[in-house]
Structures are given as structure tokens and as C-alpha cells.
Structure 1
Amino acid sequence: MSFVSIFHIQKRFLNYRITYKGPFDYKRDHTKAYRYPFGINKGAIEDTINEINQIRQLDLKDTDVSPFHLVWRYKTMTHIPWHEKYVLSHLGLHQKECHIRVVVPNTPHFNGLLWRVKHLIQLMPIAFPDGIPTEEDVGCVKLNTYTGALSVNPSHKVSADRIDLAKSDDIYYGKYLREYLKWSSDQWLAY
């Protein structure tokens, strides 16, 4: 066989269009239905559709829907389009490491962003076994990132002394930031 005849065979093969020839054409390898040699189980499909319809007909209360989602990325960011990376950066899931968990509010805006990258992330609703925390409970909450339970316990409260120790000097804030950066860059150029 010459190169020209091989090229024509390949060209004919690439131009061949796969057409659906009915639900019982399972004998050919190029049809998707070949993967199901005993036919498509219509009963199982109807059962799943009925389950979905039953879930949709349930009367949900506001307490049944979680106001927050716990979201993490389980796939790498390599070889994904730029617009998905952009959405992941808005959600805070743009780190190199996978499985870093982020709390995202359950609003239509964020749900739309999550829908765009649904094939890259996993999602868990946050449960409030002790009730939704109030302003007095702000320092007493602890989120279990594996079960998604946010517990309120006074033993978790951080003292004001530890918070004051964690604060940095005021030189890095406000009007002193420009002078600090200028000083540090001059010091860096002096070496």
C-alpha cells in the first residue's frame, strides 16, 4: 500500500459519521449502546427520575437548607481552561494543593460559580448541631472540616490577650505602609 492509499483510508475513516440506528443496534463497536449488551435498563432510569421528583416535591423549611457550603477542589489546576481558573480564584480554591477547604455562602451568585466548576470540586453543606451562632458566639465556634459540623463550645473561645499578641505593629498599616516599603526597598538596594 502506498502512502496515498493509506491517507485515503484514514480520510474516509475520519469522515465516517456515527449515526444512531435505534435502541436495538448493539452489535457494532462504534455505537455507544454497544457498552450495554443486555439493553438499557429503562426501569432503573424511571426509578431514579421518580426519586428526583419525590425530592423536588418535598416541602423544605429554611432550617433544612444550610446557609453555607464547605467546598474543596479534588482535581489539579493543570490543563484546565483559563475561565475555570478565574472562577476558582474567586472562590478561593486556586492554591497549588488540592483538598484545601473553603466556606462559601449558599447564594445564587456563588451557586452559579460553583456550577461552572462542578467537575473540579466537591461540596458539603455545613450543619449547625448547636444552632446558628450569634454575635456572642463568634470566638467559640469550631468547624470540623471532615464532617461539616459547626459546633459552638465556650471552651474554644480565644482570649483577648492572645488576640492582642497576634496583632502586628501599626507600622504596616495606613499611612506608615508607604514609608515602610520605601525604607525596606532602600535597605534592599543598599546591599
Structure 2
Amino acid sequence: MNDVNGNSHHSRVNQLRMLLVDDDETFCHILARAMRRRNMDVRVASSVNKAREVLPAFKPDLAVVDLKMDGESGLILVPELSESNPSMRILILTGYASIATAVEAIRLGATNYLCKPADTEQILEALYRGPEAPESLPLPSRPLSVERLEYEHIQRVLLENDGNISETARLLGMHRRTLQRKLNKNPVKT
């Protein structure tokens, strides 16, 4: 049976639905177009709140969520996505990778975690591959730098305190502004 536009209803029934949550407009445009070419129904939300508006009516099968956006972190959205569809495959994408946030994303219900930049094939592979056990994560060939160890520790303490900067700074024994300055820097290399 065809609709007014001549599209088959049958193809829509089997069409995967993807929610793309990212505040990078160019990235969203390119990824959405690539996924539509793969016969997916894609909706784009530029923030956690906009994703919440789309979620009740759209019911996605897949979600690609940026970790760091203006406003709330994409991590906050993971439990809500899982609750709306327990079989949804959720990928957290980020340019600010840390072991602590990767573990937290998986604990909250994400299927996997991928560092930006990532292309369409890497995103699809990560969505369907599933989480790697922490013991299977590749270890660096050389020890982490002191700066990277500090970054990982700060991320872990921040997660344990639900993103509360003041409490994290107090526990780390540093001034809140010092912590904010460290968090605003790009993550240090290994």
C-alpha cells in the first residue's frame, strides 16, 4: 500500500529510527544525510531538552548522543533513552574522552562510547559492536603522563559528585576556579 507521496508503508514499518543529539550543526547534517541514505528515519536535536521533546512521539531504535553540549551533558539523557526503549542502542560520542566517562556512560545504559572525530561506518560499528569489557580496553604502550592521570582522576571525582564542581573542588583540595580552568582545557594526551 502506498501513501499520498507514493511511498510504501511497508518500508517505513521496517525503517530504523535514529535520534541524533549534538550541538554541532555541520556534523548533524552530514551524519543525518548519511544515515538517511541507509534508509533510516533520522531526527536531530541540538540539546538534551530538544531531545526530550522529540522522544515521546519518535521512539528511536538508535541514538547517537554527544557528551559535551551547551547546557546539560549528554550523559544525563542516557537513562531516559534506555527507559523509553530498553532495546535502544545508544552511542555516546565525544571529543573529550576519558576512561571515567566511558565507564559511566556504559553503566548508565549506553551501548558504546566513541571518540570524535568519527565517520558513519565507525559510528554504526560502535552502535552494533556493544561495550567492550574494561579489561579488554587497549592499554597504552607507555604509561599515562602525570597530566593525563590528573585529568582522569578529576573526571572520576566529578562523576562521583554528579557534576558538582564545588564539591569536586573541595574533595580534590583545589579552588573551584582552578578546577573550572582545568575542565575547560582540552583533555591532555596520554
Same fold, TM exceeding 0.5? no
Give TM-score scaled by structure 1 length. 0.25
* Bigger share in helix: 2
Give TM-score scaled by structure 2 length. 0.25
Higher Rg: 1
